[in-house]
Amino acid sequence: MNIIMILYYLITAYLVFILGWNFLKEKKSVGNLILALLVLTPLILRLLRVK
């Protein structure tokens, strides 16, 4: 794993954290909750190194 790949994994982890934070803090819209989860899907799969 080269340095660029490590940096991209760090960026992914940061985005997962931000989206998770938004999910927890969302107070108004169920739609926004679902959208946050949808966007999270590929990022979490990548972090877990599934595919």
What is the SS3 string spanning 1-18?
CCHHHHHHHHHHHHHHHH
Which residues bind to another protein, rule: CB under 8 A? 4-5, 8, 23-24, 26-30, 33-34, 37, 40-41, 44-46, 48-51
Contact 20, 40 (CB under 8 A): yes
Write down the least CB distance from residue 13 to another protein, Å: 14
Write down the least CB distance from residue 46 to another protein, Å: 8
